[in-house]
Chains A and B, each alone.
Chain A
């Protein structure tokens, strides 16, 4: 089954404790992206990757890091999480760029930073 998987699905952590949210896709997609979803703000792009070893900042990259060492994986790293990073995070992938191609979203990771 074609899918984007994220782990963990739920995470509660404390300020400053480094964490990684994993993302993996099995569709051989070149493009992968991370979004955060906040009430009233919609979906905002954090980082994206056009291909292996190629990443770039989205609209809200502060406080986040990413890496793309393999085509299928695109982990999101929070080196020192803060409460304002409490959010619902989605990973997405598409065949070659977000437009005009369909983006496939993962199920989401709900992160709470206390």
Chain B
């Protein structure tokens, strides 16, 4: 019940295309859903996050779509660029002090020019 399932494991998108990464969770207590971006040789960094009181959050070319009833959320990268090539991790957590952030297994995105 603590798992966050992420798909696909890897993704190749042409420059200018839309990249979509999906995540699903089981624990209905989760109320914070961040996405982290990791470039080779670097630590993950927060990209965008959403709370379940909204169905969508957009920051530039990055959008999180959230479906509470289906317990799913996804990251959309519009107009994908070679500089977006990285590993993306979805995660889920609660506000409860001391509880962990549960990460998905990651998606390696390659944007071809």
Contact = CB atoms under 8 A, between A and B. Distances in A.
Interface of A: 4, 33, 40-45, 48, 50, 56, 58-59, 90, 92, 96-100, 102-108
B5 to A, nearest CB: 11
Given A100-B51, A106-B43, A43 B93 contact: no
B106 A42 contact: yes
Interface residues of B, number: 26
B61 interface: no
30 contacts: A33-B100, A40-B105, A42-B6, A42-B89, A42-B104, A43-B103, A45-B100, A48-B98, A56-B98, A58-B100, A59-B100, A96-B97, A97-B97, A97-B99, A98-B93, A99-B31, A99-B32, A99-B34, A99-B93, A99-B94, A99-B95, A99-B101, A100-B32, A100-B95, A103-B46, A105-B43, A105-B45, A107-B41, A107-B43, A108-B41
Contacts of B95: 99-100
A2 to B, nearest CB: 12
A44 B9 CA distance: 17
Interface of B: 6, 9, 31-32, 34, 41-46, 49, 51, 89, 93-95, 97-101, 103-106
Given A59-B100, A102-B49, A103-B101, 13 more contacts: A4-B43, A42-B89, A43-B103, A44-B103, A45-B100, A48-B98, A50-B98, A90-B44, A96-B97, A100-B95, A102-B34, A108-B42, A108-B43
